[in-house]
Amino acid sequence: MGLNRGRLRWIIKDGVPITDCAGAIKGIIKHCRHDQTVSLGIYISVPFCRTKCSYCNFASDVFSRVLFDRYVERVCADIENAPVIAREVGGQIERGADSVYLGGGTPTVLDTAQLERIFATARANLEVQSDAEITVECAPGTLTQETLDALLRCGVNRVSLGVQSFVDQEAAAVGRLHKRTTVLEDISRLRAAGITNINVDLIAGLPHQTAESWNVSLEETIATGVPHVSVYMLEVDEDSRLGRELMAGGIRYHAHFVPDDEATADFYLAACERLDAAGVPQYEISNFARQGFQSRHNLKYWTRQPYFGFGVDAHSMLVSATPDQGAVRFASPDSLEHYIAEAPLQRTEVSRQAALEESFFLGLRLTRGLDLGELSADFGEEALGNFENEVSQFLKGGLMEIDGRYVRLTPQGRLLSNEVFQRFLSPLKPAEVVRATMM
């Protein structure tokens, strides 16, 4: 289908196309978005693991426990100093946080006193709302009763389990220390403790994975009845041992048993179909949830809501204190040594053009797509014309489609999402900013 500038400007209200000027569009959008209060999201990084998985490209590793106290001390100092940090980078902190996400690494390797100190410091300094979504990532097998009790005292109401595979051979091949039974036991214990908002992470494309074994992982995941599932395709890059070995054509880390790209794509598509049929529909490229269980915190990344990150390699985006700038992004050092030594933050002002680009490729990550009317209200009607050629080509190529006021990726477009997103980004956009917005 061809696409012209006029078609891009059309908004559907009550089934009727509106082609009037910005006033009509802004009136609609003001009612549905801008009257809403935007709350802050808090991300806290814990870069410690029991073992380093071969596929992992995050800033996490195995460290001596003697470093844990020093790290927690540093993170808590940053949380207490958040208003000063925001002011120094030129940002504004939104009052009241409605999500806290403790990620890693494996946060549950910390002892209970350290976990409780982090949460107590966040609550004392960042106005965490009483109904906030509070998530902790957990490697199966690290959830002792003592740790579980501490999480409950901290108000944790959501747990994300890094399962990756329910097939023991696949999990062991990449360095995971748990077995299938470990995962099932952890889910049972979480539910018994009253934590029913549980996510299971799966990775498509692991060594030794086949269509049959992938089906086993999908069946096991669905059978658990968890309300949220994240499905990632194996990333091959120089930041992981497995990635480097694959790129070199070697056989270490079971690299020669990694399925090819076509098979991995088939696994992903199978997950989309099976989870949807099981009542866990896709709402973002890598995420699936039952009604009411979408990740409130992660939605902040994709809808460009403010979030403040603390700890190693933690990224933040705050509203800019400079009137002609939309936002400011900044990131802490990606090494434990530099972070504890208080190395400076990496800071990037987000211009209106950069904000527009981010809005496009982040909005397209969502299954519902990007609201064209919302984009017009935020950036002006002419903003849509900046991407007219790109959108037109993707529509013709079957990678995008328009439904009412939304433009979104097709299933094929989601498979090729990285290639699509690059077309909406300035060539000069810093790589670290792209990474921060793809969390």
**C-beta separation of 219 from 182 below 8 A:** no
Nearest Cα to Cα of residue 74 among 34, 112, 114: 114
133 pairs with which residues across the strands? Answer: 99
Reported as a single tens digit per residue, the pLDDT across 59-105 is 655 556 788 999 999 999 999 999 999 999 999 987 799 999 999 88
**C-beta separation of 165 from 53 below 8 A:** no
Higher pLDDT, 403 or 55: 403
228 pairs with which residues across the strands? Answer: 199, 289
Tell me the pLDDT of the chain averaged across its residues: 84
At residue 227, the pLDDT reads 98
Higher pLDDT, 194 or 373: 194
Of 95-99, 239-243, 429-433, least confident by mean pLDDT is 429-433
Mean pLDDT for the stretch of residues 123-142:
95
At residue 11, the pLDDT reads 27
329 pairs with which residues across the strands? Answer: 317, 348
Structure tokens at 250: 């070697």
pLDDT band for 56, please (50, 70, 90 cuts).
low
Mean pLDDT for the stretch of residues 274-280:
98
Q: How many residues does the chain have?
A: 439
Residues 6+ apart with CB under 8 A from 279: 290
| Domains, the chain, with CATH or none | 1-36+351-439 (no CATH), 40-300 (3.80.30.20)
Residue 23 has pLDDT above 50, yes or no: no
Mean pLDDT for the stretch of residues 121-139:
96
In whole angstroms, give the CA distance from residue 290 to residue 229: 9
In whole angstroms, give the CA distance from residue 320 to residue 349: 8
Helix (H, G, I), strand (E, B) or coil at 400: strand
What does 18-45 look like in DSSP terms, one character per residue? E---HHHHHHHHIIIIITSPPPEEEEEE
Mean pLDDT for the stretch of residues 272-280:
98
**C-beta separation of 275 from 222 below 8 A:** yes
User: Global pTM?
Assistant: 0.85
Nearest Cα to Cα of residue 361 among 246, 282, 439: 439
Neighbours of 329 (CB within 10 A): 24
In whole angstroms, give the CA distance from residue 368 to residue 19: 22
Alpha-helical runs (H) found in 202-278: 211-224, 241-248, 261-277
**C-beta separation of 417 from 372 below 8 A:** no
- Strand pairing report for 40-46 and 97-104: parallel
